[in-house]
Homo-oligomer: A and B are copies of this chain.
């Protein structure tokens, strides 16, 4: 807690004044272009990795960067996706996994979850990725976990496509979906290429070439 409070004092002394005009303009409104969905993991900071300033990324973070499919009892992720797409009209949604993800490693390794029943229940939303990953052979437990992290991103993109707001925006051509995977040690990001069904370095991904 002491670190946080000292950090806040530092923010107010240093980081805030440098952005005073920005924050003044943002006081009454936001207009982010991207919904960024990533893990709660402390090592993956969306705004740092993408070097975005306040006002630019609408962010969902939960254990495993999971997006449940749409259903009649929508939870927080579904509601936040709906708000981002239907109210804020973001043009892009990024689902971003990361290396060494505790949640996905637990899924890949069938870690006993008896003492964390809520985690176990939540990670069942990665089942559609898990069964695909389990049916393949992997060189090692680490390779299996790495593959699980990527399969999970792909599965969550499929889940996103059951959301009414997402389907509407896709049908109207005003939304693009992206699946990324961030490597903590190297800072590299790979992106999912649906046309080939594989991940490629972001720099070489069609969306990046287009954006360039």
A binding-site residues for B, Cβ under 8 Å = 1-12, 15-16, 23-24, 26-30, 32-34, 40-45, 47-52, 54-63, 66, 68-84, 86-87, 91-92, 94, 99-100, 102-103, 115-119, 121-125, 127-132, 135, 155, 158-159, 161-168, 171-172, 176, 178, 184-189, 202-203, 207-208, 210-212
Contacts and interface: CB of A to CB of B under 8 A. Distances in A.
A168 B168 CA distance: 27
A66 B76 contact: yes
Nearest to A87: B116
6 contacts: A8-B50, A8-B51, A78-B118, A155-B162, A158-B158, A162-B162
Contacts of A124: 72
Contacts of A91: 1
Contact of A32 (B42, B66, B68, B69): B42
Contacts of A122: 74-76, 78-80
Contact of A86 (B33, B81, B115, B178): B115
Given A56-B3, A185-B24, A187-B11, A76 B77 contact: yes
